[in-house]
């Protein structure tokens, strides 16, 4: 280990000039109405709420708040549209879904900038990950629309009806795509509600949907907060609820739909284990740790937020990790150099800061790089916690921010036991050069996704979803069609 004894000091020698993405090509209205039955309509009660840019606290636009009456109008429009949409041939439906994908691609730059403005994520991520993946989801499910008989051979799949879809603020356009694409491909109609802090790309998507001539009422996009979401969940004429968000709200929705005819899928929180064995390619693993926890400021349900390093490699990995986080660039989400953007909302920043305080109070050792955070907006330095144990709250609970808790292990059995000691079961990562270890862990970790020698890789063809309190149902891939069909 001698050759690793000196620290890597790359920080001082690299200085980046600012590289801001331009915003002159985007169009944002001052005020947005609700997209119901193919038109933008004013909310019945006339109420609008501001959406804020979390990197500077400035208002971007006013956005309608849908009341129960508006939800009812949207559900009625979706019900009216269902008959002809579900009777359209799969081939015709597929053409519309394909058109949505193409238009997202055409306007990708505009979508990317708006996503970063409204939600605070680095432009590099919205440009290279969120928006292309959203388009890919529509492309992928466009391909299934006329092949459902092959997806479910001899089972005669039929659409369910009106789907109520409620999405979070961490991947706004991507989550809209995950929800809308399989619903349309299978012949359902949709009422979708984006999160209150990040409604703008869903509203842009409404413009794209209008532009592509989708029959009116097939997709309705309404904005508002928890109360609007609850009105969708409780509407008697909604046949299916698809929810992504907090475990707390997921449990509420589960209770609200119990005993009704409504089908339900839940994609909730996580506390993913990222496991580094001593035989792993250490430099790659360190990059993987960074990507696992600092991607999208850690606002990722499948984030690798619990790191387990084999004891014999721990000193080396932790030292390299500290060196690496010293180099992360925190700041303007629209700067192409930025690694960590703004925390999505004041409320989420308070949650994260509260967990950091709890970690310190519980006696954990903290490491943060010496970086200066911008004065306005919501910011949190990347944070490591060492000397933690399984019983620490910061080890057990989802923080949903750039905060990593680090533990060590000696044997495989020990790390499996520790990794599975969580109420969640969404994701995990394994870093080793041995294929046999990878197979052993993937079979024994209770997680919906296990990445091997990588992390946070997404693909429309592969199913995603959780165990235990991370929810149920799968999105993506052939599996993602299933929650939207019923059988004779
Ligand atoms: P949240 O679960 O309240 O929000 C998610 C969506 O649900 C939003 O569209 C919201 O308007 C809607 N909603 C809220 N209350 C509802 C209700 N009673 N009925 C129907 N819809 C409702 O999440 P929040 O409060 O923004 O974040 C809290 C925590 O949740 C985070 O700190 C994080 O730990 C977790 N979270 C997990 C996400 C994931 O992807 N698994 C996404 C967002 C948050
Ligand atoms: Mg916003």
Distance 192 CA to ligand 1 centre (A): 14
3-state secondary structure of 62: strand
Closest-lying ligand 1 atom to the alpha carbon of residue 224: 11
267 belongs to the catalytic site: yes
Q: How many Cα atoms sit within 13 Å of 76 on the Cβ side? A: 6
3-state secondary structure of 180: helix
Q: 10 Å Cβ neighbour count for 424? A: 29
Q: Which CATH architecture has domain 273-452?
A: 3-Layer(aba) Sandwich (3.40)
CA dihedral 38, 43, 48, 50 (to 10 degrees): -20
Does ligand 1 come within 6 angstroms of the Cβ of 252?
Answer: yes
Does the domain at 31-268+470-487 match CATH 3.40.605.10? Answer given as yes
Instruction: Tell me the domain boundaries of the chain.
Output: 31-268+470-487, 273-452
Residues in Cβ contact with 26 at an 8 Å cutoff, skipping those fewer than 6 apart: 110, 113, 114
Nearest listed ligand to the Cα of residue 203:
2
**Distance (Å, rounded) from C-alpha 134 to C-alpha 91?**
21
pLDDT of residue 1: 37
pLDDT of residue 5: 43
Does ligand 1 come within 6 angstroms of the Cβ of 230?
Answer: yes
Task: Look up residue 126 and give its DSSP letter.
Answer: I
**Distance (Å, rounded) from C-alpha 180 to C-alpha 251?**
23
In the block, tokens 């690299």 appear at 14
* DSSP H or E run through 451: strand 449-452
Does ligand 1 come within 6 angstroms of the Cβ of 172?
Answer: no
Distance 356 CA to ligand 1 centre (A): 21
380 belongs to the catalytic site: no
- Residue 120: which of 386, 312, 299, 249 has the closest Cα? 299
**Distance (Å, rounded) from C-alpha 427 to C-alpha 446?**
8
Does ligand 1 come within 6 angstroms of the Cβ of 234?
Answer: no
pLDDT of residue 11: 54
Nearest listed ligand to the Cα of residue 200:
2
Nearest listed ligand to the Cα of residue 60:
2
225: buried, middle or exposed (CB in 10 Å: 19+, 13-18, 0-12)? Answer: middle
Phi, psi of 146 (to 5 degrees): -100, 15
**For ligand 1, atom 29: residue with the closest CA:** 246
pTM tops 0.95: yes
Sign of the torsion formed by the C-alpha atoms of 459, 463, 468 and 470: positive
Does ligand 1 come within 6 angstroms of the Cβ of 171?
Answer: no
Does ligand 1 come within 6 angstroms of the Cβ of 256?
Answer: no
Given the residues 115, 301, 398, 475, the one annotated as active site: 301
Does ligand 1 come within 6 angstroms of the Cβ of 351?
Answer: yes
273-452 and 31-268+470-487 share a CATH fold: no
**Chain centroid offset of residue 434 CA:** 30
Closest-lying ligand 1 atom to the alpha carbon of residue 166: 9
pLDDT tens for the 488 residues of the chain, in order: 334 445 555 555 567 899 999 999 999 999 999 999 999 999 999 999 999 999 999 999 999 999 999 999 999 999 999 999 999 999 999 999 999 999 999 999 999 999 999 999 999 999 999 999 999 999 999 999 999 999 999 999 999 999 999 999 999 999 999 999 999 999 999 999 999 999 999 999 999 999 999 999 999 999 999 999 999 999 999 999 999 999 999 999 999 999 999 999 999 999 999 999 999 999 999 999 999 999 999 999 999 999 999 999 999 999 999 999 999 999 999 999 999 999 999 999 999 999 999 999 999 999 999 988 999 999 999 999 999 999 999 999 999 999 999 999 999 999 999 999 999 999 999 999 999 999 999 999 999 999 999 999 999 999 999 999 999 999 999 999 999 999 98
Given the residues 65, 110, 267, 398, the one annotated as active site: 267
DSSP string, 156-173: --EE-SEEEEE--SSSHH
3-state secondary structure of 447: coil
């Amino acid at each position: 280990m001698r050759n690793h004894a000196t620290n890597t000091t790359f920080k001082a020698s690299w200085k980046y000039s600012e590289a801001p993405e331009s915003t002159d090509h985007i169009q944002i209205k001052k005020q947005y109405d609700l997209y119901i039955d193919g038109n933008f309509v004013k909310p019945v009660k006339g109420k609008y709420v501001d959406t804020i840019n979390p990197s500077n606290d400035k208002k971007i636009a006013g956005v309608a708040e849908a009341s129960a009456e508006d939800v009812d109008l949207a559900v009625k429009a979706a019900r009216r549209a269902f008959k002809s949409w579900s009777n359209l041939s799969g081939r015709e439906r597929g053409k519309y879904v394909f058109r949505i994908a193409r238009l997202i691609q055409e306007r990708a730059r505009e979508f990317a900038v708006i996503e970063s403005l409204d939600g605070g994520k680095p432009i590099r991520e919205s440009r290279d990950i969120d928006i292309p993946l959203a388009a890919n989801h529509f492309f992928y499910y466009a391909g299934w629309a006329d092949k459902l008989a092959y997806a479910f051979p001899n089972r005669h799949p039929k659409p369910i009806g009106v789907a109520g879809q409620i999405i979070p603020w961490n991947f706004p356009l991507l989550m809209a795509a995950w929800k809308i694409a399989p619903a349309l491909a299978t012949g359902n109609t949709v009422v979708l509600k984006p999160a209150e802090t990040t409604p703008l790309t869903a509203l842009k998507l409404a413009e794209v949907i209008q532009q592509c001539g989708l029959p009116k009422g097939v997709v309705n996009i309404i904005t508002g907060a928890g109360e609007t979401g609850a009105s969708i969940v409780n509407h008697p004429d909604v046949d299916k609820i698809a929810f992504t968000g907090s475990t707390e709200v997921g449990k509420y929705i589960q209770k609200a739909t119990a005993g009704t005819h409504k089908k339900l899928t839940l994609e909730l929180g996580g506390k993913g284990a990222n496991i580094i064995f001593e035989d792993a390619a250490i430099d790659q693993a360190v990059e993987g740790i960074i990507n696992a926890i600092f991607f999208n400021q850690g606002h990722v349900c499948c984030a690798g937020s619990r790191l387990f390093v084999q004891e014999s490699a721990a000193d080396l990995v932790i030292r390299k990790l500290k060196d690496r986080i010293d180099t992360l660039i925190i700041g303007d989400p629209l700067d192409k150099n930025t690694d960590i953007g703004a925390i999505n909302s004041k409320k989420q920043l308070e949650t994260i800061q509260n967990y950091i305080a709890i970690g310190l109070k519980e006696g954990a050792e903290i490491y943060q790089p010496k970086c200066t955070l911008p004065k306005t907006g919501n910011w949190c330095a990347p944070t490591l916690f060492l000397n933690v144990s399984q019983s620490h709250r910061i080890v057990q609970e989802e923080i949903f921010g750039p905060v990593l808790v680090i533990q060590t292990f000696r044997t495989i059995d020990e790390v499996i036991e520790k990794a599975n000691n969580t109420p969640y079961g969404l994701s995990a990562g394994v870093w080793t050069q041995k294929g046999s270890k990878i197979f052993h862990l993937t079979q024994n970790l209770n997680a919906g996704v296990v990445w091997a020698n990588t992390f946070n890789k997404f693909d429309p063809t592969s199913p995603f979803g959780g165990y235990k309190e991370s929810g149920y149902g799968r999105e993506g891939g052939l599996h993602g069609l299933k929650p939207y069909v019923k059988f004779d």
